[in-house]
Structure formats: C-alpha cells, structure tokens
Amino acid sequence: MTSTLLPFDQAEYDRRLLMTRMAMALAGLDALFVSDPANMQWLTGYDAWTFNHHQGVIILQDADPMWWGRQQDTQAAMHTVWMPEGCVISYESDLVNSMDRHPIEDLARHISGLGVQNLGIEMDSQHFSAKGFSVLLQVLPDVGFADATGMVNLQRAIKSAPEIAFMRNAAAISDKVMDGVIKHADVGMAKNELVALAYRDAIQGIDDARGDYPAIPPMLSSGSNTNASLLTWSDQKLVAGEEMTFSFSGCYRRYHAPLCRTIFLGEVPDEIRRAEAVLIKSLDAGIIAATSGRKVSDVARALAGPLGHGPDRGVGYGGLIGVAYPPSVEDDVISVNADSEAVLEPNMTFHVSPSLNVLGATIKIGQSIRITDDGAAEIFGGLSQLIATK
C-alpha cells in the first residue's frame, strides 16, 4: 500500500531493515519478534496508540516484515506501514479478554507456519509479557528462543540525516515550550496552569513542524520535591524564592529532544549561583568529552568531575534519544553511566543531564546533543540560559 503518512522514503526503511537483518544473522536468528513500539515504528512506520495490546512485527531474512496485532487495529496499520496489505496479519479481537485462549497462541501459529528455527524476542521489553512468553514456550516446543532485548534499539542509535532533521524540529519545539514556561511562570500561579500552556505550545509546535504527544509528560517539581524528579505536577502555587525544575521533551513525528531547566522566581541566592556555575562547567565538560571514538563512560566522568560526585553517582546522566513512545523518552540500551563501554559514533544522539543538590533541593539542567564527525558534540536547540531566573 505504501502509506501516505510515512515520515521517510523507502530507502530509509530498507537501510534499517538491512541493519536489523545483519544483527539477527550475527545472533543466529532467522526471525525476530519486535514488540517495542518505537522499534516497530522505526522499522515499518507503524504509529498508533495500540501498544496496550499484544502486537509486534515479525522480521525475517527473506520476506517483508509482517505487522501482527488485533483485528480492530489493522486499519491503523494499513494507514501507517510501508508493507503491502498481505503483510498485515491479525488476531480476532475477542482473544483479548478470553479466559481460555491467548493472543500469543495466534502469533505462535504464524511463527510455526513460517518454519522458524531460532526466534529472537525482546524479553525485557515492557511490551512482551511473562504470560506471552510462557504461551510461546508451550505452543512452540521445537523453536529456539533468544533474548533480543535492545537489538533493534542499538540499530537505532546512529541517526540518518532525515532523522536528525526531525530531531531539530523536536528541539525547536522543546525550546519554544521552555521559553513559554520561563515567560509565563509567576508567583501564585498553579503548577497545572503552567503545564497547560506548555502542552498547548508543545502540540501547536513550530512553523511547519506540528507537535506530537511526547513519550513523557512534563515534570514540574519544586522546593524539597525536586529530589523526586519524576513527579509530574500538582495544583500547588508557585512560590517566590523557590527553585523549580521543568523537564520536558518536544516531539515531532515520534522523535524527541528533551530539555531541562531549573527556574527561579525572584532573587537567586548566591549558593544557587555558584551551583549554576558548576552545572555549566559540568555540561561543558560533558559536551567536550562527547566526541566520536570515545566511550560513553568518558562523557559520564566528564559530567561528574565538576559536580564532585562520588562513585554512588556513576549513573543517571542521561541516555540515547530518538523515536520514543510512553513511558520511556530515553533508551536504556545506552545510558550515560560511568561504567558504559559503548563507543560514541557520529550522529548518535543523547540527552545529558547533570544535577546538584543545594539548599535542600536539586537543581538540574538537561540538553539534547548530537555526536559530530569531529570534536565536541552539537547542542540541539538554541536556548542559552542554563538556569533561568526572572
């Protein structure tokens, strides 16, 4: 069918499929069942909010990918994937709630019909359940199974030129949203009022780049709550002299570029100013260390240096970014940690985010970056303020 909604041309999908098949061959797999929705989208274009149900894409060495999911979601598949109609296969919707049958039995029948010997499964993905695996083991006793968690995610690490263009759009949306938050934040305003404007700006997007739903909602913590960075928001009113952390990602056609700033209403205490200088130093050091050929751990150590963190803070400096669906905006397949042996390559894209505890709160900055051919990483987006004050 070749959907008119496809974000990329066929050459881009062919390249992705080739890379994935090479990784499969190296792992001795003749088939791969991809259930991570970001991986599904990257390989086939599939984009619909159906990932609360058993679904996936079957990748073989010598045939087009096959989309598999609920019968009632096949229309969404036909509207969004590049493969011909015969590659969209489905199970009856009444299997979803069946007490005595399971959707994965239907998948197993297809796998069996394809004569698969060694099947890779994303076993540690949110989108392949323990129950699903036990059904596969039971129905397909003669098939070999291998854990292929992260296999496709790793292929996605290095972005193509059109992907980078999409991420620049996402970064421009992130900048617009952050600008708006800094502009609109005011003493006495309820947090949800501020987040409401952030959502509006994010979905409106910029110029010809419409906003898509981000893989994570805005995080807006303040005061002593800033050490619990994954709280979203409340109707609490903004207070003068209290730091707040706003963490967010613009999204353009499923591509993300997260951004994080600490914002102050009123006079900034000297301790915070000093901490700001340290965070700027940390981010600068991280960006300089983020050069092609070096290890991800070098970036983590460079970020950690100025922060004076001990070994207990060797993790949590960020991760790979790109295509994402809720609930993860960063891809754990390569995290910016002090023990990561992954080697940086041009056009890998990361979110890096150092933080510091000061005056009983946590202040944090986060920036999305791209590894270049040579030298320091490129910063996505144009926001210069590291800690915004007003």
Q: Scanning residues 358 to 387, which ones bind a second copy (CB under 8 A)?
A: none
The answer to the question of residue 124 lying near a second copy (CB under 8 A) is yes
The answer to the question of residue 210 lying near a second copy (CB under 8 A) is yes
The answer to the question of residue 26 lying near a second copy (CB under 8 A) is no
CB atoms within 10 A of CB 106: 19
Instruction: Please give the residues from 34 up to 53 whose contact with a second copy meets the rule CB under 8 A.
Output: 47-52
Alpha carbons 242 and 264: distance in angstroms, whole number: 6
The answer to the question of residue 184 lying near a second copy (CB under 8 A) is no
The answer to the question of residue 118 lying near a second copy (CB under 8 A) is no
The answer to the question of residue 158 lying near a second copy (CB under 8 A) is no
Residue 100 or 373: which CB sits closer to a second copy? 100
- Taking contact as CB under 8 A, which single stretch among the options 210-218, 258-266, 346-354, 375-383 is the one that binds a second copy? 210-218
Instruction: Please give the residues from 221 up to 250 whose contact with a second copy meets the rule CB under 8 A.
Output: 225, 227-235
Half-sphere exposure of 180 (CA within 13 A, CB side): 21
- Given a contact cutoff of 8 angstroms between Cβ atoms, the answer to whether 57 and 68 are in contact is yes
Residue 136 or 268: which CB sits closer to a second copy? 136
Q: Which DSSP string do the residues of 7-54 spell out, in sequence order? A: SS-HHHHHHHHHHHHHHHHHTT-SEEEE--HHHHHHHH----S-TTSS
Least distance from a second copy to the Cβ atom of residue 205, Å? 6
The answer to the question of residue 213 lying near a second copy (CB under 8 A) is yes
Instruction: Please give the residues from 313 up to 332 whose contact with a second copy meets the rule CB under 8 A.
Output: 314-316, 326-328, 332
> In the numeric block, which tokens belong to residue 170?
């996402």
The answer to the question of residue 251 lying near a second copy (CB under 8 A) is no
Phi then psi for residue 312, to 5 deg, are -70, -10
Rg of the Cα trace of the chain?
A: 22
Cis check for the bond before 327: say yes or no (omega within 30 of 0). yes
Q: What is the length of the chain?
A: 390
The answer to the question of residue 203 lying near a second copy (CB under 8 A) is yes
Measure CA of the first residue to CA of the last residue in the chain; give whole Å.
53
The answer to the question of residue 190 lying near a second copy (CB under 8 A) is yes
Residue 8 or 133: which CB sits closer to a second copy? 133
Instruction: Please give the residues from 294 up to 313 whose contact with a second copy meets the rule CB under 8 A.
Output: none
Query: Which three-class secondary structure state does DSSP give residue 188?
Result: coil
The answer to the question of residue 200 lying near a second copy (CB under 8 A) is yes
The answer to the question of residue 147 lying near a second copy (CB under 8 A) is yes
The answer to the question of residue 357 lying near a second copy (CB under 8 A) is no
Binding residues for a second copy, how many (CB under 8 A)?
76
- Given a contact cutoff of 8 angstroms between Cβ atoms, the answer to whether 186 and 266 are in contact is no
Which residue(s) pair with 257 in the sheet?
A: 250
